């Protein structure tokens, strides 16, 4: 059985001075939380008073595909095989699930190849949406 009433150092609530582990000094308890406000520069546009520093974020750009010739055709065939594994959409006229659905996830993963892949689908009269 342990002694749960044992005092454990500077844990008591009404201590006026406490040991600060970061500085290694015994400091007044109320001084720890009173830090000077950082001086705000009017020229610094990335600093907002309530949110602090806001870093600049570059806009994401889509790098275009550099495939040519045989690589381009092989890439289109591989993307077509991947798209055929995805769930399909129904054709209103025939009632069959023969329309390939390009999901947002698929577009995001293969964004750099979408331009030539969509042209490939149109060229071969493959229905997609």
pLDDT tens digits, 28-76: 766 555 555 555 555 556 565 666 777 778 887 767 888 899 999 999 9
Residues 35 and 80 in one domain: no
Residue 9 domain flag: no
Mark out the alpha helices in 54-123 (DSSP H runs).
70-85, 104-109, 114-123
Domain presence at residue 112: yes
Strands (E), the chain: 17-20, 25-28, 47-48, 52-53, 88-89, 99-100
Number of domains in the chain: 2
Q: Do 75 and 107 share a domain, yes or no? A: yes
Do 76 and 118 belong to one domain? Answer: yes
* 86 and 45, same domain (yes or no): no
Assigned domain for 1 exists: no
Q: How far apart are CA 47 and CA 18, in angstroms?
A: 33
The number of angstroms, rounded, from the C-alpha of 5 to the middle of its chain's C-alpha atoms is 48
pLDDT score for 64: 83
Q: How many CA atoms lie within 13 A of 31 on its CB side?
A: 10
Q: Domain range spanning residue 92? A: 70-123
Considering the domain boundaries, does residue 3 fall inside one? no
Together in a domain, 49 and 81 = no
What is the distance between the alpha carbons of residues 32 and 13, in angstroms, rounded to a whole number?
A: 15
Q: What is the pLDDT of residues 62-112, one digit of tens each?
A: 678 888 999 999 999 999 999 988 888 877 777 777 788 888 999 989 989
Pairwise pLDDT comparison (1 vs 25), residue with the higher score? 25
* Spatial distance between the Cα atoms of 50 and 48, rounded to a whole number of angstroms: 6
Residues 107 and 76 in one domain: yes
Q: At 6, is the pLDDT very low, low, confident or very high (cuts 50, 70, 90)? A: low
């Amino acid at each position: 059985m342990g002694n749960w009433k044992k005092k454990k150092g500077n844990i008591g609530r009404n201590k006026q001075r406490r040991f600060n582990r970061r500085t290694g000094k015994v400091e007044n308890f109320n001084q720890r939380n009173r830090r000077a406000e950082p001086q705000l520069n009017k020229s610094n546009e990335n600093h907002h008073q309530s949110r602090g520093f806001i870093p600049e974020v570059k806009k994401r750009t889509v790098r275009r595909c550099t495939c040519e010739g045989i690589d381009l055709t092989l890439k289109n065939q591989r993307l077509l095989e991947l798209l055929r594994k995805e769930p399909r959409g129904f054709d209103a006229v025939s009632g069959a699930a023969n329309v390939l659905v390009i999901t947002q996830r698929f577009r995001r993963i293969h964004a750099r190849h979408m331009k030539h892949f969509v042209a490939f689908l149109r060229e071969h009269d493959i229905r997609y949406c």
